[in-house]
Amino acid sequence: MNFELSQDHRVLQDAVRDFVEKEIKPIAAQIDEEHQIPDTLVRKMGEMGFMGSYLPEQYGGAGLDMLSYAIVVEEVSKACGSSGVLISAHTSLCCGPIYTFGTEEQKKKWLPALNSGDIIGCFLLTEPDAGSDAGAIATTYRREGDEFVLNGSKIFITNGGYRGTGVVFATSDKSLKHKGVSAFIIDLRSHGVEILKNEKKLGIRGSYTTAFALDNVRIPAENLLGQEGQGFKIAMDTLNGGRIGIASQALGIAEGAFERALAYSKERKQFGAPICDLQAIQFKLADMWAKIEISKLMTYKAAWLKDNKKNYTMESAMCKMLASEAATFVSHQAIQIHGGYGFICDYEVERMYRDAKITEIYEGTNEVQRVVISKLLLS
């Protein structure tokens, strides 16, 4: 067993850290305040290969592996959770299923512009009455000649505000539940696709969370992803991979908050000495670090399993659950260590605390992760 990163992974980690230090850290607070990631940053991340890290070079990807992708999302999220989820949702939830389930023509048509970051991808599954119960989606499709016609609504769509490319799920017959669901590649600038709103949120404010209406949207038949009726399987498989991305985002947020708390505990003097001399602070740092390390081990293991074509369903649910709970715990403790300063916006831990919360919710609440884990244990 070797727990060391390879030389290639370490080189990548250094390069991403360098980029984040120069290009993301200085504007992370601005991204939060302005509720937007500058297009110039999105373009630069595309140029760095962050938007298609584990996709093959023949489709415009960086040709790296899943562990590299986890490292990219983790390092970016140390400075900015919004930028981390932009990459994660785009790569895992849009490029991922097109690569895994798409035909050769679909991959050649859609992936290059996505992998370069010229077009931003998203995943349109959730609906007002179908959140955790993903099999209950009510958006319908019907075939008309060479087209599928979609009607319904989608909510909480990460990256939706870019109106790029999406993988959208619809049912031919709601009474069929999972078996009626199909997946389609959708151009979100198509006629009939309307943005209802971009949500205002507690955290990850630089990331779009969009509600769409789909009103007689005509999708060419060639955009069917996989087979008709295979959509629920595509959604579940995609979320298994996506959960590694969210775990990496959560891990990064936790590490970012920890770094700032550790540094602050050495600078801040109370009772005539740095507060890191107090056992009350030392115990917090120990708990925070232990949760980060266990999350990192499980996240990297899930990525390694995927890279090695082994089953990783349980590990992806576990890493997403552990890392997101570490992120909320660590950022909470980081504020506590900062005392009153942690509560004001000048100190970044306040933003990290807000950004951490969503990681316990999206790509399945942690209650859903526990369902996935326990079903596998009992099966």
Q: How far is the CB of 219 from ligand CAA (least distance, A)?
A: 20
Q: How far is the CB of 230 from ligand CAA (least distance, A)?
A: 11
How do 121-124 and 165-171 pair as beta strands? parallel
CA–CA gap between residue 284 and residue 299 (Å, rounded): 23
CB 212 within 8 A of CB 153: yes
Q: How far is the CB of 120 from ligand CAA (least distance, A)?
A: 13
Chain Cα centroid distance, residue 219: 26
In eight-state DSSP terms, residue 9 is: H
Q: Is 363 a catalytic residue?
A: yes
Q: Residue 163: CB partners within 8 Å, gap ≥ 6? A: 188, 189, 193, 195
When the beta carbons of 73 and 134 are compared against ligand CAA, the nearer one is 134
CB 355 within 8 A of CB 81: yes
CA–CA gap between residue 379 and residue 371 (Å, rounded): 12
**Closest by alpha carbon to 13, among 44, 50, 58, 57?**
50
Q: How far is the CB of 203 from ligand CAA (least distance, A)?
A: 13
Q: Residue 36: CB partners within 8 Å, gap ≥ 6? A: 206
When the beta carbons of 42 and 335 are compared against ligand CAA, the nearer one is 42
Q: How far is the CB of 66 from ligand CAA (least distance, A)?
A: 16
CA–CA gap between residue 230 and residue 101 (Å, rounded): 10
When the beta carbons of 130 and 335 are compared against ligand CAA, the nearer one is 130
CA–CA gap between residue 329 and residue 290 (Å, rounded): 11
When the beta carbons of 28 and 372 are compared against ligand CAA, the nearer one is 372
Query: Could you say which of 74, 350, 360, 363 is catalytic?
Result: 363
Shortest-Cβ-distance residue relative to ligand CAA: 364
When the beta carbons of 152 and 342 are compared against ligand CAA, the nearer one is 152
Buried b (16+ CB within 10 A) or exposed e, 231-256: bbbbbebbbbbbbbbbbbbbbbbbbb
Report CA Rg, the chain.
Answer: 21
CA–CA gap between residue 332 and residue 322 (Å, rounded): 15
Contacts with ligand CAA by CB under 6 A lie at 89, 93, 123, 125-126, 132, 134-135, 156, 158, 178, 232, 236-237, 239-240, 313, 362-364, 368, 371-372
Q: How far is the CB of 124 from ligand CAA (least distance, A)?
A: 9
Q: Please identify every residue annotated as catalytic.
A: 363
